[in-house]
Structure 1
């Protein structure tokens, strides 16, 4: 379950990108590690789900104990990726609410010292 196809994505991350909450649940139930580091960016499935605005998937990952504050090799958390790559539409708003309610740390900065709030305000971008 934790094998990476072509060295990049696992079953869980593929299900996350496809916005398939049932497959996410099944992958986790069958032993996929919700904190597995994938992709060339060193991200997790949660980071991918957050920046895509897949709120139901984010909710399932948070409930499964996925790390809310994983920092990828761009020095970005799911909240920072959400702000930088999200479209601020209703799905992204639900996504950030789930992350914050689940306890994601809003104070973790990126490599330039900018927090998610600073990015949202356009400071330092």
Structure 2
């Protein structure tokens, strides 16, 4: 990325970033024709594709991916276009980014991959789709939590998080993995009084069926 004197972006780069954030696909195309750097970054190190992903500008994302934008560009918060989809839960954006072959192992600032925040936030459709990509459903973040653990610990125990627990288990999530203290998802569900979630987890791991 080049900058002008005073650290400002060149005009085409600035126009590219503004258009991407606004969802203006025509403006993005015009900026690229004017010589904008497709990987230009704003003051927070966000690329046009990351801005598009953050604001769910799917048409813009498709255009940028077609032009070769990276789904792995990391900003100053350790986010990438791909990682952001786990926060927003946008399946449409996930699909738009897949042709860019995102690195599914890149970690966010908490050491997690995209399925973890999606599980915490109750993004059922996203979790259902992302587990089909080959993402590691047993990845452990810096807190010592898997997606399954986050769905229980930070979820509300309701239907959305129950469904996410089912999806994760069917995708190969290991219910025997405990947190840093060895406390499993079932232990946490019981402690929170999540009866339905406890039942789902008990069926997945009969060895834990008898409470302590």
TM-score (norm 1): 0.91
Query: Which residue number in structure 2 is paired with residue 106 of structure 1?
Result: 175
Structure 2 gaps of 5+ residues are 1-70, 193-212
Selected match of 1:92 from 140, 155, 161 = 161
State the distance in 2 between where 1:106 and 1:94 align: 15
- 1:4–1:38: 8 Å Cα contact kept in structure 2? no
State the distance in 2 between where 1:25 and 1:105 align: 26
Selected match of 1:118 from 182, 187, 191 = 187
What are the superposed Cα offsets for residues 73-120 of structure 1, whole Å, 9 maximum, x if unpaired?
111111111111001222211111110111100001111010110111
- 1:82–1:92: 8 Å Cα contact kept in structure 2? yes
- Once the two structures are TM-superposed, the CA of residue 16 in structure 1 deviates from its matched residue by 2.2
Structure 1 runs (4+) deviating above 6 angstroms are none
* C-alpha RMSD of matched pairs (Å): 1.4
Moved more, 77-86 or 12-21: 12-21
State the distance in 2 between where 1:82 and 1:16 align: 13
What are the superposed Cα offsets for residues 1-30 of structure 1, whole Å, 9 maximum, x if unpaired?
112121411112212211210101221222
Is the counterpart of residue 32 in structure 1 residue 98 in structure 2?
A: no
Q: Larger radius of gyration, structure 1 or 2?
A: 2
State the distance in 2 between where 1:38 and 1:103 align: 22
What are the superposed Cα offsets for residues 40-81 of structure 1, whole Å, 9 maximum, x if unpaired?
x10110101110111111111110000010011111111111
Selected match of 2:142 from 73, 77, 86 = 73
Query: Which residue number in structure 2 is paired with residue 50 of structure 1?
Result: 119
State the distance in 2 between where 1:84 and 1:52 align: 11
- Aligned residue pairs total 122
